Amino acid sequence: MAMQTPPISYVANASSPHVRHWVEYLDELGLPYHIYSIHKNSFFPPEQVTTKFNGLLRFGALGSIVAYILLGLWLRLFVPKALQLHAHNTSGYGLSAYLSGRKYLLTTYGSEIFSAPQKSIIYRFLIRRTLHAAEKITASSQYMQDTLTQHFSVPASRVMTFSLGVSSVFRVSTEKRSIVRQQLGISEQDTVWIYNRRITPLYRTLDVVEAFQQFARGRQGYRLLLLAGDFDAQYLAKVKSHIQGDNNIQLIDGFIDQAQLSGYLCAADVALSLPKSDQLSSSILEALSCGCLLILAKLSAYQSITDHFPCVVIDDVYVTSIQQAFQDSVLSLQSDISHLQQQQLKQVAWGRQQVMLWIKKLYA
């Protein structure tokens, strides 16, 4: 009688599109999984998720920290040692995995690693301990790998660097473009920018809003879509206050599924990504795959994009430079770049088959 393969145990946010992307590959590879989370389940079959200590999240950052700690202790007591844990982020679920006493894999997030030098001594200590205890670490850019090895002394042999690429859902579709624009009350002639990054200070959403408002003032046919994602509540309130009464800016609240996201990206002409620090985010690749021109901050993690694709790159990101980037992107759109982008996408190593080889190697 064949032995049943134990599930890969994710310690992760069960409402995260990032985790959903990983699970999509697990399903395609036929690998069983289970998710342990302090967050409510938004995407997965109920039997695939165990949510613990979610009630503590109502107490803000302190409640979240306590929940991560308690989840780690719960895993130590109730999860078999034979299960393979894979934590998605270092500072939260990585801490849970570390406290579990189990062997674990770790996927890093750019926001927590790149901002560590500005955080407290305790934060940096816990990040370092969590990184060094992981058996393997995944990074999505060479810049992240270099940061881990040079600033956190992680052995290069334990870091696997690859991008998850994009789901097959994300493709140029004139049909989706027309349907979504009609739903949003946007004409075919309007130029649409989309900001599909979390509404938090890290991603400078308020700067983008202010720059767009200055750029679009007195002009017709310019629209901005903001996707809230996993937002910072206080910062989102500031953004909502700033865009109140502005009919040229539309906020898409909460998490949306991949099909909806693909529709919004197809409806847009230009996608922005202007964080203070980042890895190579799948949101950028998804926008490219749906035919969007990109406005990007000048970050080392984005070099593989800016080297291959036509982009508007901002060296120093502030309101005036973003305003100029809006103008520059209008000029760039005068030439049809979608076909060129699709041809170039075929030449870079983001194909699904390559990604599946990396994932098989990770869980081997």
Domain contains 110: yes
- Count of domains forming the chain: 2
Q: What pTM, to 2 d.p., does this model score?
A: 0.73
What tens digit of pLDDT does each residue of 2-33 get?
446 678 999 999 988 889 889 989 998 999 99
Residues, the chain, total?
364
Residues 97 and 246 in one domain: no
Question: Domain span at residue 57?
Answer: 8-162+352-363
User: Under a CB-based contact definition with an 8 Å cutoff, are residues 288 and 265 in contact?
Assistant: no
In 3D space, the residue among 308, 279, 273 whose CA is nearest the CA of residue 294 turns out to be 273
Residues 98 and 206 in one domain: no
Residues 235 and 336 in one domain: yes
Strand-pair partners of 199: none
pLDDT tens, N- to C-terminus, the chain (364 residues): 444 667 899 999 998 888 988 998 999 899 999 999 999 998 899 999 999 999 999 998 899 999 999 999 999 999 988 888 999 999 999 999 999 999 999 999 887 888 888 889 999 999 999 999 999 999 988 888 999 999 999 999 999 998 887 877 888 899 999 999 999 999 999 999 999 998 989 899 999 999 999 999 999 999 999 998 778 889 999 999 999 999 999 999 877 888 899 999 999 999 999 998 887 888 898 998 898 999 999 998 888 888 878 899 999 999 999 999 999 999 888 665 555 555 555 545 456 778 888 999 999 8
- Measured CA distances, 242 to 4, 69, 76, 206, 224 (Å): 54, 36, 46, 8, 13
- The pLDDT value recorded for residue 142 is 83
User: Under a CB-based contact definition with an 8 Å cutoff, are residues 132 and 97 in contact?
Assistant: no
- The pLDDT value recorded for residue 340 is 57
- The pLDDT value recorded for residue 335 is 63
* d(C-alpha 18, C-alpha 27), whole Å: 15
Residues 356 and 339 in one domain: no
User: Under a CB-based contact definition with an 8 Å cutoff, are residues 313 and 300 in contact?
Assistant: no
User: Under a CB-based contact definition with an 8 Å cutoff, are residues 89 and 108 in contact?
Assistant: yes
Q: In what order do the strands lie in the sheet with 49-51?
A: 49-51, 33-37, 8-11, 84-88, 104-107, 136-139, 159-161
Domain contains 99: yes
For a pLDDT cut of 70, what percent of the chain falls above it? 94
Residues 136 and 181 in one domain: no
DSSP 201: G
With a CB cutoff of 8 Å and minimum separation 6, the contacts of 52 are 36, 37, 38, 67, 70, 71, 74
Residues 69 and 209 in one domain: no
Q: Position of tokens 């770790």? A: 106
Q: Residue 49 belongs to what H/E stretch?
A: strand 49-51
* d(C-alpha 264, C-alpha 291), whole Å: 12
User: In the numeric block, which tokens belong to residue 15?
Assistant: 């409402």
Residues 69 and 33 in one domain: yes
Domain contains 332: yes
Domain contains 168: no
- The pLDDT value recorded for residue 1 is 40
**Residues 126-157 as b or e (16 or more Cβ within 10 Å = b):** bbbebbeebebbbbbbebbbebbbeebebeee
- The pLDDT value recorded for residue 41 is 92
Q: How many CB atoms lie within 10 A of CB 115?
A: 15
User: In the numeric block, which tokens belong to residue 128?
Assistant: 């370092």
Q: How would DSSP label each residue in 169-195?
A: T----HHHHHHHHHHHT--TTSEEEEE
Domain contains 198: yes
What tens digit of pLDDT does each residue of 249-288 get?
999 987 788 889 999 999 999 999 999 888 788 889 899 8
In 3D space, the residue among 185, 169, 172, 167 whose CA is nearest the CA of residue 225 turns out to be 185
Residues 125 and 206 in one domain: no
CATH number where 44 lies: 3.40.50.2000
- The pLDDT value recorded for residue 4 is 60
Residues 150 and 216 in one domain: no
Domain contains 1: no
User: In the numeric block, which tokens belong to residue 305?
Assistant: 């994009």
* Distance, CA of 282 to chain centre: 6
Strand bridging mode 49-51 / 84-88: unpaired
Residues 218 and 130 in one domain: no
Residues 152 and 235 in one domain: no
- The pLDDT value recorded for residue 349 is 47
Domain contains 169: no
Our separate counts of H helices and E strands in the chain read 15, 13
In 3D space, the residue among 283, 267, 287 whose CA is nearest the CA of residue 275 turns out to be 283
- Measured CA distances, 51 to 80, 123, 296, 360 (Å): 17, 25, 36, 27
Domain contains 167: no
* d(C-alpha 307, C-alpha 296), whole Å: 12
Residues 64 and 118 in one domain: yes
